[in-house]
Amino acid sequence: MKAVQISRFGGPEHFEFVDVPDPSPGPGEVLVDLRAIGVNYRDVTSRSGEFPPELTGKPMPPLPYITGSEGAGIVSGIGEGVTEVQLGDRVAFHENDSRAYAEKAVVRAWRLVTLPDNISFETGAAIMLQGLTAEFLAHDCGNLEPGDIALVHSAAGGTGLLLTQMLKRSGIRVIGTVSTDNKAVLAKEFGADYTINYRDSDFSQEVLRLTEGVGVQAVYDAVGVDTFDQGVASLATRGHMVMYGNASGPVVDIPASVFLYRSLTFVRAAVPDYTATRDELMYRTERLFEWLSSGELRVHIHGAFPLKETSEAHRQLEGRLTSGKVLLIP
């Protein structure tokens, strides 16, 4: 099969479009012929090797390495003991280290969900990481009530657009940070009440201005070290700092005094912890599919690149030239 791999860490130019042996499913595993692959910032950091184990707490992947953790396609092989899906099923998944930048991927069966007929492979691949993330952030993190105000960083990104919609349907007002005027327009189109171009201003001061000095009840941050301090300064008393990514680098060695002052709370949320059982995974994805089918939730796809153009997809994502979701098509 065709796949995209790296033989050394570094920039997107290190991707290699290669032939590799087809994988085979073991017990409890399923082989998926991929039709669409999700591109996520986690793929960028695993490719670049930018954050060493002493910062992330995770070992560097062995080389050569095929990255990717999200996709949608058709079940073409089933390992021993699999009962969750059948041959020919249309499925989608998010599974860390599933080597999804390829024509085929092996995934643990319990991590697969069956796609409804009205959900395309492209939407399925776009929703499994960012949609699940937005779902638990909006409903399980932040302790928000109708009328509260939340700050959503990267509001025109894939997760940001989905999270904004879910917060709005729960009666939350949303301030979104963006990097361009065009992204501000898109964020407002998807429900943001206010936008702040962080390139033009100190966003914490603008948040305090918009909230008449009170601050927001929750900050949703996947940026990391570059926005952390201003994010804390943007919080109201008893506010919640909800981190779910570290695109600019992980936040380490946080002094407890940061959160003791004003009774603030902190959580670092991740998809595996909020989809730890199949029942929870199915509950959350069924909600996503219901909202997509009813039109309550929209997915914005920036672009779908052929697999052999993975380098360009990463260049655009890293260069902050994208809005919404980026896909690869095998």
The 10s digit of each residue's pLDDT in 6-23 is 999 999 999 999 999 999
Q: What residue spans define the domains of the chain? A: 2-130+278-329, 142-268
> Looking at per-residue confidence, does 52 or 202 come out higher?
202
Is the pLDDT confidence value at 131 over 60? Answer: yes
| pLDDT score recorded for residue 106 | 98
Mean pLDDT, rounded, for 13-37: 98
Residues 302 and 326: beta-carbon distance below 8 Å:
yes
Extended strands (E) in 64-212: 70-78, 90-94, 104-108, 112-114, 149-152, 173-178, 194-197
* Superfamily of structural domain 2-130+278-329: Medium-chain alcohol dehydrogenases, catalytic domain (3.90.180.10)
Please, what is the average pLDDT of the chain? 94
pLDDT for residue 54 is more than 60: no
Cα gap 144→167, rounded to integer Å: 9
Read off the pLDDT of residues 196-220 as tens digits, 9 standing for 90 and up. Answer: 998 887 899 999 999 999 999 999 9
**Residue 56: its pLDDT value, please?**
58
Q: Are 239 and 141 in contact (CB under 8 A)?
A: no
- Kindly state the percentage of the chain with pLDDT values over 70: 98
Which among 25, 112, 71 has a CA at the least distance from the CA of 307?
Answer: 71
pTM here is 0.94
Mean pLDDT, to the nearest integer, of 213-236? 94
Superfamily for the 142-268 domain:
NAD(P)-binding Rossmann-like Domain (3.40.50.720)
Confidence band, pLDDT 50/70/90 cuts, at residue 328: very high
Contacts of 55 (CB under 8 A, 6+ apart): 249, 250, 252
Look at strands 70-78 and 90-94 and give their pairing. Answer: antiparallel
For residue 147, the model assigns a pLDDT of 97
